[in-house]
Amino acid sequence: MRAQDFLSHTARMKTYVVRLRLKQKGYTQHMDTTVMARNPEQARRIIRQQYGDRNIIVGQPRELA
């Protein structure tokens, strides 16, 4: 079995780019970040859990080509 065949079946993770807006006292910070996930919804959940803040606004995840 070739390594490429093995990786294509087991590693179904994709890289997503997500734009974040963090609201702080007196200012708002915008940033782009990347996350490895199986689908866009999982990418959003990972980002929300990573930052753990109710004031975070997560944009639409875009798949990185």
pLDDT higher at 61 or 51: 61
H, E, C per residue of the chain: CCHHHHHHHHCCCEEEEEEEEEEECCEEEEEEEEEEECCHHHHHHHHHHHHCCCCEEECCCEECC
Give percent above pLDDT 90 in the chain: 42
On average, the pLDDT of the chain sits at 84
Q: Domains, the chain, ranges and CATH?
A: 13-63 (3.10.20.10)
pLDDT classification of 42: cutoffs 50, 70, 90: very high
pTM of the model: 0.73
With 70 as the cut, is the pLDDT of residue 7 above it?
A: no
